[in-house]
């Protein structure tokens, strides 16, 4: 069985026992970039490898391309091979933040043409709550896999020029995954310029989760996104956030809801505001 959106702790434990999965720990803290790896070393799903948001799941920012630009596909593929990933092999990503960072790897792998990737629903807290074991330290080196970049999926993204053109002649709806306060333009240390892209709608990614930090049921998510989309199909939607990370959480939630196909604006708000000539609402 292939898992392409979410997986529960018991099913993941079975895959680990069968040696049929590559597990990637994506724990991260935007306020303390070293904290995620420290948490990984303190305790992680057995056999999991650690991928750092800044170093592995993003390319270098240059002041104009947002805080977390997309990584070089060739470099990311090499990193995945080093983690032991083979073509077609199941990947499970997790974090300790309701999937906020694991969803980035889920999206990136699909961008690279790899469909067998899922996010551990509830993350490490759900794994621990299920009474399953954790390891500390670093996992032993894996035998190199044969994973490589698949067919181009650049149709999954839009650039700033496309978003600007959309202001003049609307062809898609931009959906912002940041908090309602940041969307409204209330001051926030992450946003040097407050506000949002004109015409955008807001769907805070945290609303995809229940009180336990697990994704809400598919039917509930479908109804919630239907309210945001207002009758538009997913291929008429572009997802963004502050830097292209939590927008992937909305992409995953839409896939869980049976609404795949929305595109990502990778640079998101942090790229948009890099040029003061771009309008802000």
261, 197 Cβ separation under 8 angstroms: no
Q: Give, to the nearest 10 degrees, the angle between helix 73-82 and helix 102-111.
A: 110
Question: Cα separation of 118 and 176, whole Å?
Answer: 23
**Catalytic residue, candidates 26, 86, 241, 248:** 241
Return the residue matching tokens 């309602």.
180
- Enter the DSSP assignment of 76: H
Residue 209, strand partner residues: 215
Annotation says 26 is catalytic: no
Q: Measuring CA to CA, how many Å separate 7 from each of 14, 211, 213, 272?
A: 11, 18, 14, 34
Residue 256 contacts residue 215 (beta carbons within 8 Å): yes
Q: Which residues pair with 251 in a beta bridge?
A: none
> Whose CA is closest to 244, among 183, 178, 184, 186?
178
Place of tokens 């942090």: 270
Which residues are designated catalytic?
A: 241
């Amino acid at each position: 069985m292939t898992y392409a959106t979410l997986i529960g702790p018991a099913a993941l434990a079975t895959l680990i026992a069968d040696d049929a999965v590559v597990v990637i720990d994506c724990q991260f803290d935007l306020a303390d970039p070293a904290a995620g790896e420290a948490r990984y070393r303190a305790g992680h799903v057995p056999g999991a490898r650690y991928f750092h948001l800044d170093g592995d799941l993003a390319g270098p920012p240059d002041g104009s391309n947002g805080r977390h630009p997309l990584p070089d596909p060739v470099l990311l593929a090499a990193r995945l091979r080093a983690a032991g990933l083979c073509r077609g092999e199941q990947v499970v990503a997790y974090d300790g933040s309701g999937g906020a960072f694991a969803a980035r790897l889920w999206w990136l792998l699909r961008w690279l043409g790899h469909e067998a990737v899922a996010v551990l629903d509830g993350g490490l807290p759900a794994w621990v709550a299920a009474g399953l074991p954790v390891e500390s330290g670093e996992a032993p080196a894996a035998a190199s896999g044969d994973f490589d970049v698949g067919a181009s999926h650049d149709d999954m993204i839009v650039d700033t020029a496309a978003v600007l053109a959309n202001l003049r002649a609307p062809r898609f709806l931009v959906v912002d995954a940041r908090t309602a306060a940041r969307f409204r333009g209330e001051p926030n240390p992450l946003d040097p310029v407050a506000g949002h892209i004109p015409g955008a709608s807001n769907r805070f990614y945290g609303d995809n989760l229940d009180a336990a930090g697990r994704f809400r049921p598919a039917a509930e998510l479908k109804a919630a996104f239907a309210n945001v989309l207002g009758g538009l199909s997913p291929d008429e939607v572009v997802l963004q956030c502050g830097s292209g990370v939590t927008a992937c959480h909305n992409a995953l939630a839409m896939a869980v809801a049976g609404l795949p196909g929305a595109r990502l604006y990778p640079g998101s708000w942090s790229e948009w505001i890099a040029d003061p000539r771009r309008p802000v609402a």
